[in-house]
Amino acid sequence: MTIDLKGRVAIVTGAGGGLGRSHAIALARHGARVVVNDLSAAACDAVAAEITAAGGEAVPWTCSVTDREGVFAMVAGVVERWGRIDILVNNAGILRDRTFANMDLDDFALVVDVHLMGSVNLTKAAWPHMRDRGYGRVIFTTSSSGLYGNFGQANYGAAKMALVGLMQTLALEGRKFDIRVNCLAPSAATRMTEGLYSDDDLKGLSTDLVSPGVVALAAESAPTRTILLAGAGAFEQAHITMTRGIHVGDAPDAAEQIRAQWARIADRTEEQVPESGAAQYTHEIGHPDRAVVGALDAA
């Protein structure tokens, strides 16, 4: 069945071009009213006009996601205009690539501020409205650089992985209010990839091929606590997992046992995706190896 977003209101940050533009157009095509947010007023106006010309409904809104007062004012203005906020697509971002040894800490802080705190600012502003209505779909833009690492992107990777941690907790806190929180890790040719990769490397990585993932995560039937990877028309899912591991107790040679059993600790045969952080110590307290150790001690 076609995903119907009629009556829903979405805010897309960084929507003046690239992925954000594609996301905004895709959401509008499925019926959502879209707030096109970007630093560039001209870019916001152009994308909003493009949506309107295609029969959709959109308004431009210029402010930086790092401007907390500006973001809160945007959310208040959207609620005043349309009475609700249903969908947040936290997409705005920048790059300041350099090896960690050569990276200026101001550039590290700036990237974290835009990607992480920019997402926090918008989500914090909209969260009470979503709670009051008992509905919300929040999408954070993570990255393979955060999930798996990428040379020269310590700041970007740290910010992007932080968004996964934010998602994990907000998904738990939002569950009883039907606020579903997910992450998207896109692969696409954008302004941020210019000069970093060749045209051949970026062939087929249209931003438009990522945006169906955003629509799916914005739908009423969306999952929650999902990390969706998307690029070139392909979609995958990433997981933060925990292996079965080993139990060594308070053995005097515990460190040596760990060193000797890295392969067993890393064995993914019985790995699990924990429901929350509490699952780690619950597993450790009741580790299956305890029974074996106890039986040996008794013998």
Residues labelled catalytic: 156
- Please enumerate in sequence order all residues whose Cβ is within 8 A of that of 282, keeping only pairs 6 or more positions apart, or say none: none
End-to-end CA distance of the chain: 62
State how far the Cα of 205 lies from the Cα of 121, in Å rounded to an integer.
29
State how far the Cα of 108 lies from the Cα of 72, in Å rounded to an integer.
25
**Strand, helix or coil at 98?**
strand
Report in angstroms the alpha-carbon separations of 154 from 99, 142, 149, 161, 259.
7, 14, 8, 11, 28
Residue 135 in tokens: 């509905």
